[in-house]
Chains A and B, each alone.
Chain A
């Protein structure tokens, strides 16, 4: 399957009454719907389900410096309200990505994010250097938070200083916009958001999976071969929404919301909470055509509500800070600082 086919393919979309376009920092998106890393391949594989031209952007699965064979099966386990996974960042490595995946992405009619991973600051920087010259990539998303690597220890995603070092290094190595993808497995995500903003990040993705576990008491067997893994899906939505809101009110760079989003209502909740765009992950497993369908649903929902421009909803949550988009970011920051001081 060639990108030229997928990229060139145009679909007659619904007569859009509503303006769905959003400005994500330096990137203009036709609508706020993106795929989430690791849940939609590199994007083009899925072009018969969602033509790239229908959505705001595609985020690749995490690419690492070396090939990673991934963890043993079972790698996925369904729970009452979500999914656990422990894939172990399986991917064929950056050289394979450069030679075999990226050439197909040339000319794709959507914004392309390459999600990069690494096990040291130097590895992250090397990834940004190696990929930074490629025109097929519009932006990097930095996976600071994959909880599966290194036996569940959270090397970059939980330590603001480490996260800042990674982002600073990447920013120095590339001119492309850099989005820091944060882990929810921290006690104060605003500290992480502030650290990556200060380090020069152009935006934040909030959030990656929560750490979770399942066990069958009858057989005594854990649901995942690695015992613990990343929890995603509808069950994480309130946590993800809170994280995204905390990030959005703390920083002035744009925030992409992610976690448990499965309907157009969910999308708008994240936007109102302060996100400029959202990513769809686990929900695509039940309906691989969801990203494209979500755009139609969003249009319908906004039409019915008489909202002409989706961007007018961003950050309009009545949380007592009367903040709209980036304008009052410094007030929000002041409030976050006040909270820090005010807490025992």
Chain B
């Protein structure tokens, strides 16, 4: 049975600050009980307040930033669990399990350019992806800023969380909103189509995507139709994050690299999957 990563632990942590972010989000800054080694982008933690008020089951969040011994999470308030975390005060005790999951594949330079597609809070695994890609990952050639295009879509401009942070890294950043309140009026896939049609991007690109299910299903179709290398970071429901509750099944492709078993555990086999391995739509 797939096991949780060997570097994952359950840690006590403390909220340092909670900063508002966008219309409905916060950045939760926490200090774990001890320093953690550098974490790969798109790995995640299970988070829960250490009190009897919060929901029983912890919630999964991507690592958003890691600096000065602190961990940052971008949290969109959805329901009970996210609200409890967002309403935390400095000093609030947390239970944190991680780092969990696999993280993005090696984002290298020199090959086909990379297009990162984010939908709403699906942007969370990208700031560190950009940083790590530009610094070089796994001993491979670092990506150059011009190798990376970041397409950030949301329903409206207030949900383009921390958009300015991306432009500082020198990569191409384009925004899209469903209501046209900022950037391109439409979704990220239409935005990508426009770049292709105008010849502003080669047809052969490598895709990383994170966002709501309908968006990821559309990205999956696009990758198959155009035979593109593509990895999706999934946000399935999770009960434990470490492989023991069986609550996070993702349908697999029978002919794919994960073999014949009809589902994979998102938490320990993902959350990042190649579109050759899974079948969303």
Contact = CB atoms under 8 A, between A and B. Distances in A.
Interface residues of B, number: 30
Interface of A is mostly: loop
B262 to A, nearest CB: 5
Contacts of A106: none
Interface in A270-318: 282, 284-289
Nearest to B54: A286
B41 to A, nearest CB: 22
Interface stretch (A75-83, A165-173, A182-190): A75-83
Interface in B219-275: 236-237, 239-240, 242-249, 261-263
Interface string B40-82: 0000000010000001111000000000000000000000000
Given A41-B243, A92-B261, A285-B240, A48 B9 contact: yes
Nearest to A6: B3
A203 to B, nearest CB: 24
Contacts of B38: none
B189 to A, nearest CB: 25
A96 to B, nearest CB: 10
B10 interface: yes
A285 B1 CA distance: 17
Given A1-B6, A288-B4, A288-B10, A90 B246 contact: yes
Contacts, number: 99
A286 B245 contact: no
A181 interface: no
Interface stretch (A14-22, A24-32, A66-74, A110-118): A66-74
A55 to B, nearest CB: 15
B187 interface: no
A149 B32 CA distance: 42
A245 interface: no
Contact of A45 (B4, B58, B246, B263): B4
B95 interface: yes
Contact of B237 (A39, A76, A90): A76
A336 interface: no
A58 to B, nearest CB: 12
Contacts of B3: 1, 41, 44-46
A75 B245 CA distance: 9
A40 interface: yes
A225 B57 CA distance: 19
A158 to B, nearest CB: 24
Given A285-B58, A288-B97, A87 B1 contact: no
Interface size class of A (residues with CB under 8 A): 35 or more
Interface string A248-287: 0000000000000000000000000000000000101111
A286 B1 contact: no
A222 interface: no
Contacts of B237: 73-74, 76
B246 A87 contact: yes
A178 to B, nearest CB: 24
B244 A76 contact: no
Given A74-B237, A75-B249, A46 B56 contact: no
Interface of A: 1, 38-42, 44-46, 48-49, 69-70, 73-76, 78, 81-83, 85, 87, 90, 92, 101, 233-234, 282, 284-289
Closest 6 CB pairs of A and B: A76-B247, A45-B3, A285-B240, A289-B10, A76-B239, A87-B246
5 contacts: A46-B4, A73-B247, A82-B56, A83-B57, A286-B56
Interface of B: 1-4, 6, 8-10, 48, 55-58, 95, 97, 236-237, 239-240, 242-249, 261-263
